């Protein structure tokens, strides 16, 4: 099942990206995506089919976990607008990276980090207030297959020849993405967008279970609600905000040094709500795939005048382009980071509830919060898994042991499983925060790898995994760069490195860097660099980190299908 029979072709010319505004160039920017497809994005919020409350947990005398609507962003391969078409000469405003309302979202992050909101709000405003996603808002779903046009061709018409003009329209595999604590639907756009640029539709759900920094829930007039509430009001619209929920008396339950352990009552209830939100998002995809895009448009709450919404809403979406274009019957992938990885494990386990999920991808999963078989479900893992970990989490012994148990559970169920670590990475290396603030994550978290290179390694490993696991009709039909990551030799248990293992008080949060000052001076001065070992992006830009490993030696493989 996991043989090398589905091999990609040569790397392709990257798809066109939206032009940059001058305001973006003055602040932090997200890099263009590397895959051969351009990327589209749209935001959807629709009422839940069955609004309900999860658990009896309350805050301020109100139920804390309630599902009234579901909100998500869809990153997808798209046809870039033609500059020659009169209706497309004026570009639609692009989606902002920081969710609206941006100032209030910044305050939500300040509350999450437990620091005064004014410095955080001011700093984010000065750096990412104008950061936009490098994607076309509400663009048409790609109508052609990517063709094997090498990036190195350099021809003037490379953008035109990078897409095949065949009569058959491509059908795209789907990933359902779950964010970690403090995350949102946009905070993993680098990973989600890269996957979309390689021919995958990625649905990034924004969880309203109290695990995000801040999210706004719009309530349509006359809607059935999960519970009675006092709404905030703006004109005739109703909404309420959901901030991060700290466990009572155990605010640091995520810490390896927390003697009280994980707040399982809260976390298990959040997992249950998260899985229900994933089910709602999948239902909406089914509507799009069955030609009911107009009903999604009419029920969408992210539109002009509503809280957290852009004036663009879903205007201009070519709903007919989505009909019959998604591979939803089987082989959908669940993917998540940190607590989202915990969610992914449970989704992959519950085969009866999620029969359409064929495999899971775990990004730096929070092991101690992952329920054992029997705590939430009696089903065990029987579907393929890929786990991509950070070096910082690798040194957390309890977490690493729990991941090993998950891998063994999958193997016992007859499933292929890979578990790997990206050298020099920390917990934020698979998020946009590392890409936007590389100097801060290097200084404070002691990240060694180039953040963009960490994203590429994560995405390329995921694509290699999917091309091995998915049946031929589901495989990504792009010429992504196969780096042979999953063919890396597996380490023995006693071969685990310890060079960057931090002191116990910094466990999981940062790395230890021997001779740090000397390394930083050498990095600034470019001393001792050999250009031949430095990876580059598709535009030839060097992806140097504080410590740069030669391509092919950037990961440790801990577990593979051939092991034992």
CATH of domain 22-559: 3.40.50.1820
Per-position b or e across 458-483, b if 16+ CB within 10 A of its CB: bbbbbbbbbbbbbeeebbbbbbbbbb
Q: What pLDDT was estimated at residue 1? A: 36
CA 98 to chain centre: 15
477 contacts 464 by C-beta, under 8 angstroms = no
SS3 sequence, 64-83?
CCEEEEEEEEEEEEEECCCC
Asked which of 125-129, 131-135, 295-299, 511-515 is least confident by mean pLDDT, the reply is 125-129
Confidence of residue 83 (pLDDT cuts 50, 70, 90): low
**Per-residue confidence at 475, pLDDT binned at 50, 70, 90?**
low
pLDDT exceeds 70 at position 133: yes
Mean pLDDT for all residues in the chain: 87
Tell me which residue of 499, 491, 495, 483 sits closest to 11, measured CA to CA: 483
Q: Give this prediction's pTM.
A: 0.92
Q: Is the peptide bond before 50 cis (omega within 30 degrees of 0)?
A: no
pLDDT at 161: 34
pLDDT at 11: 59
The pLDDT score that the predictor gives to residue 118 is 80
Domain residues of the chain, as ranges? 22-559
Q: Give the percent of the chain with pLDDT over 90.
A: 63
Q: What is the sign, positive or negative, of the torsion defined by CA atoms of 542, 547, 548, 553?
A: negative
Q: What integer pLDDT is reported at residue 478 of this predicted model?
A: 60
pLDDT at residue 422 greater than cutoff 80: yes
Distance CA 449, CA 426 (A): 9
Structure tokens at 350: 């519950």
pLDDT digits over 180-213, tens only? 999 999 999 999 999 999 999 999 999 999 999 9
Return the pLDDT at 526.
60
Question: 152 pLDDT exceeds 50?
Answer: no
């Amino acid at each position: 099942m996991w043989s090398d029979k589905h091999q990609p072709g040569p790397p392709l010319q990257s798809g066109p990206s939206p032009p940059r505004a001058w305001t973006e160039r003055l602040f932090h920017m997200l890099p263009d995506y590397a895959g051969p497809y351009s990327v589209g994005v749209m935001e959807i919020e629709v009422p839940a089919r069955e609004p309900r409350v999860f658990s009896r947990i309350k805050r301020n005398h109100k139920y804390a976990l309630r599902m009234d609507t579901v909100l998500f962003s869809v990153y997808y391969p798209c046809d870039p607008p033609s500059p020659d078409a009169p209706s497309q000469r004026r570009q639609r405003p692009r989606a902002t990276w920081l969710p609206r309302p941006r100032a209030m979202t910044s305050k939500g992050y300040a509350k999450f980090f437990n620091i005064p909101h004014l410095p955080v709000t001011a700093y984010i405003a000065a750096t990412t207030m104008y950061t936009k996603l490098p994607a076309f808002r509400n663009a048409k779903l790609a109508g052609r297959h990517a063709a094997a046009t090498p990036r190195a061709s350099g021809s003037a018409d490379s953008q035109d020849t990078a897409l095949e003009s065949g009569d058959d329209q491509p059908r795209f595999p789907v990933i359902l993405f779950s964010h970690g604590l403090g995350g949102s639907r946009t905070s993993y756009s680098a990973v989600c967008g890269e996957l979309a640029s390689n021919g995958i539709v990625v649905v990034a759900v924004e969880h309203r279970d109290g695990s995000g920094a801040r999210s706004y829930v719009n309530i349509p007039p006359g809607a059935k609600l999960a519970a009675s509430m006092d709404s905030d009001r703006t004109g005739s619209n109703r909404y309420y905000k959901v901030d991060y929920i700290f466990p009572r008396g155990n605010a640091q339950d995520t810490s390896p040094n927390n003697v009280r352990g994980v707040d399982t009552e809260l976390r298990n209830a959040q997992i249950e709500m998260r899985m229900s939100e994933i089910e709602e998002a999948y239902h909406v995809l089914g509507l799009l795939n069955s030609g009911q895009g107009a009903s999604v448009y009419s029920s969408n709450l992210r539109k002009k005048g509503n809280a957290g919404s852009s004036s663009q809403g879903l205007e201009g979406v070519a709903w007919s382009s989505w009909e019959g274009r998604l591979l939803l019957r089987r082989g959908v992938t669940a993917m998540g980071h940190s607590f989202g990885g915990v969610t992914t494990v449970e989704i992959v386990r519950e085969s009866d509830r999620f029969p359409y999920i064929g495999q899971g991808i775990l990004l730096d999963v929070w092991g101690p919060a992952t329920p054992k078989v029997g705590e939430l479900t009696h089903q065990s893992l029987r579907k393929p898994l890929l786990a991509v970990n950070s070096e910082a989490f690798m040194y957390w012994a309890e977490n690493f042991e729990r991941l090993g148990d998950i891998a063994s559970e999958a193997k016992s169920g007859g499933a292929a499983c890979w578990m790997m670590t990206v050298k020099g990475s920390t917990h934020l290396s698979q998020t946009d925060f590392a890409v936007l603030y590389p100097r801060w994550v290097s200084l404070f978290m002691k990240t060694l790898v180039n953040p963009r290179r960490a994203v590429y390694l994560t995405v390329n490993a995921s694509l290699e995994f999917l091309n091995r696991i998915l049946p031929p009709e589901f495989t990504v039909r792009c010429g992504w760069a196969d780096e042979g990551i999953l063919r890396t030799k597996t380490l023995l248990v006693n071969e685990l490195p310890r060079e960057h293992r931090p002191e116990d008080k910094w466990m999981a949060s940062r790395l230890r860097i021997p001779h740090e000052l000397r390394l930083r001076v050498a990095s600034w001065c470019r001393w001792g660099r050999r250009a031949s070992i430095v990876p580059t992006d598709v535009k030839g830009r060097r992806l140097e980190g504080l410590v740069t490993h030669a391509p092919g030696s950037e990961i440790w493989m801990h577990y593979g299908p051939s092991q034992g």
